């Protein structure tokens, strides 16, 4: 094998698409997927590639310092693509400490292991930290997040991600650890845990349940199909410059309510419902505390320097996504049992 790569969080939503892309595109690499398999991690996401010769799964916690050190000794990694995280803003509001442990302490454990095991020779090594646009805070009605926008995180989730970004840069600056960071906007697509807006609402329509729109629904997000994010990660890993940051976005802003209405129209068509049926489920509920008003990415750096662009038009990506959830109802049913039901009642009151 030419290279051995550690991908953390590979059983989660984005991580599983990144693992699949690397396993299929680079048969000469050994891909080690490390995941704790929290409620958000699901090996079913990778059932199509789990028997590949160049793929290994390791169950473990990035917070466990000794486990991480032994893993680095076992595999002699050339690179790390770090996606493992607690990723849901609402959960960070009720349980911030889980986010500090995994997102901050876990990231620093990985940085230490990379620094200690690679320090003899940093050449051909790379620590790639996958981050979010939420570190930049909330935008007014105009303007875009640039790579140079000052950090201004507003939620416990985004604060933990911002902190981990700072630690990655600090390890580059202080110890010479080669690194890249990318900050991406909202992803959508297959295998996203149904706590996030789109899969939650698709599942609720399917079950004829209310669609809980936070506040006035006029919050704006910039949506990107998950496979386009995975392609960007591949490009940045192989062609990105040391110590650089790349913003990744869909050039695709929607207010939540407009997005939900388009999704309702597509769901009615797919389910053969009368027009307007799904929209009737829209229910305005109490706002998320500290809810960021608007995110929007200026992705010109990755477009100009690495020739990356989103490949899918949004309506097409949305249709593909809805179709995937409707064709994989067993997947949703499997992940929405047990703890999920308790979470749902705590979050939405019914
Ligand atoms: P996810 O919640 O779907 O998956 C996270 C994965 O990490 C899960 O498989 C989980 O089991 C694993 N994990 C959690 N804690 C762990 C621990 N302590 N040790 C080992 N594994 C652990 O998240 P996602 O949406 O796929 O996000 C992946 C990464 O991308 C995160 O770092 C997130 O901040 C970032 N990101 C997400 C989005 C988005 O829209 N979802 C956008 C930009 C950036
Ligand atoms: O911007 C990138 C970020 O996008 C990632 O870093 C996060 O990991 C990811 O979870 C996502 O964060 P958001 O908070 O934007 O995603 P979420 O799907 O939770 O919410 C999208 C919007 O929809 C947001 O404005 C809140 C709103 N919303 C969400 C839920 C779950 C509702 O109105 N009702 C809901 O029930």
- Average of per-residue pLDDT across 145-169: 98
Query: How many angstroms separate the alpha carbon of residue 177 from the centre of ligand 2?
Result: 32
173 and 319 within one domain: no
158 and 58 within one domain: yes
Counting ligand 2 atoms within 8 A of each CB, the residue from 129, 183, 186, 295 with the most, and so the one to mutate, is 186
Are residues 290 and 154 in contact, defined by beta-carbon separation less than 8 angstroms?
A: yes
- Average of per-residue pLDDT across 23-49: 97
Counting ligand 1 atoms within 8 A of each CB, the residue from 18, 21, 33, 41 with the most, and so the one to mutate, is 41
Domain for residue 298, yes or no? no
Q: In what helix (H) or strand (E) does residue 246 lie, and over which residues does it extend?
A: strand 244-248
How confident is residue 29, by pLDDT bands cut at 50, 70 and 90? very high
Query: How many angstroms separate the alpha carbon of residue 14 from the centre of ligand 1?
Result: 7
Domain for residue 232, yes or no? yes
Residue 93: what pLDDT? 98
Which CATH number do you get for residue 175? 3.40.50.720
Residue 120: what pLDDT? 84
Residue 114 has pLDDT above 80, yes or no: yes
Average pLDDT, the chain: 97
Distance CA 246, CA 240 (A): 8
- Average of per-residue pLDDT across 119-124: 91
DSSP state of 102: I
Residue 138: what pLDDT? 98
For residue 326, the number of C-alpha atoms closer than 13 Å in the C-beta half-sphere is: 16
Candidate list 128, 157, 237, 325, residue with the active-site label: 157
Residue 119 has pLDDT above 90, yes or no: no
Domain for residue 301, yes or no? no
Are residues 198 and 159 in contact, defined by beta-carbon separation less than 8 angstroms?
A: no
Burial class for 52, CB neighbours closer than 10 Å (0-12, 13-18, 19+): middle
Active site residue 133: yes
Counting ligand 2 atoms within 8 A of each CB, the residue from 89, 194, 223 with the most, and so the one to mutate, is 89
- Average of per-residue pLDDT across 231-253: 98
How confident is residue 168, by pLDDT bands cut at 50, 70 and 90? very high
Are residues 111 and 269 in contact, defined by beta-carbon separation less than 8 angstroms?
A: no
Residue 277 has pLDDT above 80, yes or no: yes
Active site residue 147: no
Residue 340 has pLDDT above 90, yes or no: no
Tokens at residue 271, please? Answer: 């389910």
Residue 113 has pLDDT above 80, yes or no: yes
Q: From the alpha carbon of 217, which atom of ligand 2 is closest?
A: 33
Which CATH number do you get for residue 265? 3.90.25.10
Active site residue 134: yes
pLDDT tens digit sequence for 178-190: 999 999 999 999 9
125 and 100 within one domain: yes
Alpha helices in 136-195 (DSSP H): 156-175
Number of domains in the chain: 2
211 and 158 within one domain: no
Number of H helices, E strands in the chain: 13, 12
What is the residue whose two structure tokens read 């797919």? 270
Domain for residue 81, yes or no? yes
Kindly state the percentage of the chain with pLDDT values over 70: 100
114 and 44 within one domain: yes
58 and 110 within one domain: yes
Residue 244 sits at φ, ψ, to 5 deg, of -100, 160
Domain for residue 299, yes or no? no
| Whole-number Cα distances in Å, 315 to 197, 227, 282 | 16, 15, 20
262 and 113 within one domain: no
Residue 1 has pLDDT above 90, yes or no: no
DSSP string, 311-344: -S-HHHHHHHHHHHHHHTHHHHHHHTSTHHHHHH
| Whole-number Cα distances in Å, 162 to 100, 152, 155, 156, 344 | 11, 8, 10, 10, 27
184 and 84 within one domain: yes
- Kindly list the protein residues whose Cβ atom lies closer than 6 A to any atom of ligand 1: 8-9, 11-15, 35-38, 40-41, 61-63, 83-87, 102, 106, 130, 132, 161, 184, 186-187, 193
Domain for residue 18, yes or no? yes
How confident is residue 342, by pLDDT bands cut at 50, 70 and 90? confident
115 and 88 within one domain: yes
Domain for residue 210, yes or no? yes
Task: Give the residue, by CA position, lying nearest to ligand 2 atom 21.
Answer: 197
Task: Write the CB contacts of 152 (distance below 8 Å, at least 6 apart in sequence).
Answer: 136, 137, 138
- Kindly list the protein residues whose Cβ atom lies closer than 6 A to any atom of ligand 2: 87-89, 132-134, 185-186, 196-197, 200, 212-214, 219, 221, 256, 288, 295
Q: Which of 228, 216, 121 is nearest to 176 (CA)?
A: 121
pLDDT tens digit sequence for 93-111: 999 999 999 999 999 999 9
pTM: 0.98
233 and 167 within one domain: yes
Domain for residue 150, yes or no? yes
Query: How many angstroms separate the alpha carbon of residue 268 from the centre of ligand 1?
Result: 31
Query: How many angstroms separate the alpha carbon of residue 198 from the centre of ligand 2?
Result: 9
Q: Which residues of 62-90 are buried (b: 16+ CB within 10 A; e: fewer)?
A: bbebebbeebbeebebbbbbbbbbbbbbb
128 and 264 within one domain: no
Bridge partners, residue 131, by sequence? 183
Q: Which domain holds residue 69?
A: 3-188+222-248
Query: How many angstroms separate the alpha carbon of residue 175 from the centre of ligand 2?
Result: 35
282 and 212 within one domain: yes
Distance CA 123, CA 119 (A): 9
């Amino acid at each position: 094998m030419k290279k051995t790569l550690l991908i953390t969080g590979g059983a989660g939503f984005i991580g599983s698409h990144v693992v699949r892309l690397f396993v299929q595109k680079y048969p000469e690499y050994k891909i080690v997927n490390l995941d704790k398999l929290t409620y958000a991690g699901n090996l079913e996401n990778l059932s199509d590639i789990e028997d590949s010769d160049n793929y290994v799964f390791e169950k473990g916690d990035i917070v466990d310092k000794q486990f991480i050190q032994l893993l680095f000794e076992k595999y002699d990694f050339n690179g790390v693509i770090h996606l493992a995280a607690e990723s849901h803003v609402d959960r960070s509001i009720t349980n911030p400490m889980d986010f500090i442990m995994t997102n901050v302490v876990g990231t620093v454990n990985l940085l230490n292991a990379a620094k200690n095991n690679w320090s003899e020779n940093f050449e051909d090594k790379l620590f790639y930290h996958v981050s979010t646009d939420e570190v930049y805070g909330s935008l007014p009605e105009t303007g875009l997040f640039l790579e140079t926008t000052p950090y201004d995180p507003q939620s416990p989730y985004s604060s933990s991600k911002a902190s981990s970004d700072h630690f990655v840069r600090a390890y580059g600056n202080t110890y010479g650890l080669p690194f890249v960071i990318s900050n991406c906007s909202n992803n959508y697509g297959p295998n996203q845990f149904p706590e996030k807006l789109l899969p939650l609402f698709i599942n609720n329509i399917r079950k004829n349940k209310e669609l809980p729109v936070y506040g006035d629904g006029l919050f704006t997000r910039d949506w990107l199909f998950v496979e386009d994010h995975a392609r960007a990660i591949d490009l940045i890993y192989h062609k990105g410059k040391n110590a650089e940051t790349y913003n990744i976005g869909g050039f695709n802003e929607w207010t939540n309510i407009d997005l939900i209405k388009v999704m309702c129209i597509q769901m009615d068509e797919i389910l053969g419902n009368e027009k307007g049926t799904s929209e009737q489920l829209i229910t305005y509920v109490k706002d998320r505390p500290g809810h960021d008003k608007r995110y929007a990415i200026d992705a010109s750096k990755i477009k100009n320097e690495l020739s990356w662009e989103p490949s899918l038009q949004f309506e097409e990506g949305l249709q593909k996504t809805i179709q995937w959830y409707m064709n994989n109802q067993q997947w949703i049913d499997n992940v929405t049992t047990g703890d999920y039901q308790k979470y749902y009642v705590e979050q939405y009151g019914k």
